[in-house]
Amino acid sequence: MEGKEPVTPVGRLFVQEEMYHVVNCVMVVKNPINIESIKTEIKNSLLIQHPRFQSVLVRNNNGREYWKRTQNVNLDDHIFLVQDVKYPPNSGDEEIVNGYLADLAVSSPLSADKPLWELHVLKDQNALVWRIHHALGDGVSLMSLILAMCRKLDQPDQLPTIPNFVYAVELLLTCLCSKREAKTSISGGSGVELWPRKLATARFKIDDMKSVKNAVPNATINDVLFGVIAAGLSRYLDYHQLSDSKPLEGLRITGLGMVNLRKQPGIQNMSSLVKSKSLSSSWGNKFGFILLPICHHKNVDDNPIQYVKRAKAMLDKKKLSLEAYFSYAITSLAMSLLGPKAAALLTYRIICNTSFMISNVVGPQEEIMFGGNPITAFSVSSSSLPHALTLHMLSYAGKAKLQILVAKDIIPDPQFLAKCFEDALFDMKDASTD
């Protein structure tokens, strides 16, 4: 179709009803928000110049999806002022924002009549909620594009500093499992993506994670993160799985992680990329998935560093394997041979066979600002999947937030689960300094 750019294979997967997926990124700012200054900042940004953010999704007579450029983007159709968010009395700002995001996870698809992005402004909470459809790009690319609008707080003319997104653990999909995992108190399944959600936040200090990392030779922050997840889930299962006929010791539960397979452009290179004619080959979604197994172990407090050692051994094998590349090839083949609808149904069924999803994206190392307004907090979440538990971590200026999105009828106490993760890291830190 002349003048139209085909949606990538993985992008086509994300626009199917079963796999519809929106990334929600929250920026909390220090000072009151001025809507007009926000519009001015966006008008002058790379985001609004990006062809995908100027295009609507269309389908031809054969059902093939394309991006079609619009004549202009009316920011009033994309920026929404949200006031009087209903939440229990005496709730803090973070709790209100988390509740708003939890509702968005299951009830608010993006309008197909305009480019697939929005900015929700929660003025009373000083929060900006970017909602961007995953078909526009993978999480790392979208984060780079958002951060290209920001500047260092102490050097207003400088872009944020972000280390390489090494072994980015993102989300979605799974591998071709032949049977469903044993049911636990965190298990989801078919239809769970429609269930009401809760969102809680676990907080970590990057220095604490580095202390634990240094206690395990050649470990990485990702090794520590997954060790924390394994230890925290074991604590949670010990507390909740009280009447299961099967013993918990040695029980295996499996998470999903995505590995970026395309070299990502730095923020400094984003401008030339957006203006180039090679965008179709340099942008989009290209990643493979890996299975992330956790074996439940009791007595977490005996030697919590063992969780990091087990995580490192497992992740080292994953890095050396072709699992991520093989999964990408299989997904692309299914899309080519069976079409997006069948591929989405297959992927949906596969997701139901695992227990949770985890993502980890590295954010700016220093404090930054948006439109001259200092950013005090960064976090990311997404729309829901059949999992009852999805975990998204984003680091910012020496700290990290792990957003814990749950189906509240299955995991009614995500705040307790957040504490399980936080306590696991504290115990690991203590053990690493003994």
Instruction: List the catalytic residues.
Output: 134
Tokens standing for residue 43: 């008008």
Residue 359, strand partner residues: 392
Residue 403, strand partner residues: 201, 392
CB distance 279 to 234 below 8 Å: no
Q: What angle do CA 322, 363, 164 make, to 5 degrees?
A: 45
Please, what is the angle between helix 206-214 and helix 414-432, to 10°? 50
Residue 103, Cβ density class (10 Å: 0-12 exposed, 13-18 middle, ≥19 buried): middle
In whole angstroms, what is the distance from residue 177 CA to residue 189 CA?
Answer: 14
**Dihedrals phi, psi of 178, to nearest 5 degrees:** -90, -20
Q: H or E segment at 211?
A: helix 206-214
In whole angstroms, what is the distance from residue 179 CA to residue 189 CA?
Answer: 13
CB distance 59 to 66 below 8 Å: yes
Q: What secondary structure letter does DSSP report for 55?
A: E
Q: Which amino acid is at 410?
A: I
- Determine the length of the chain: 434
Residue 56, strand partner residues: 68
Return the closest-CA partner of residue 295 out of 247, 351, 254, 238. 254
Q: H or E segment at 288?
A: strand 287-295
Neighbours of 211 (CB within 10 A): 18
CB distance 38 to 119 below 8 Å: yes
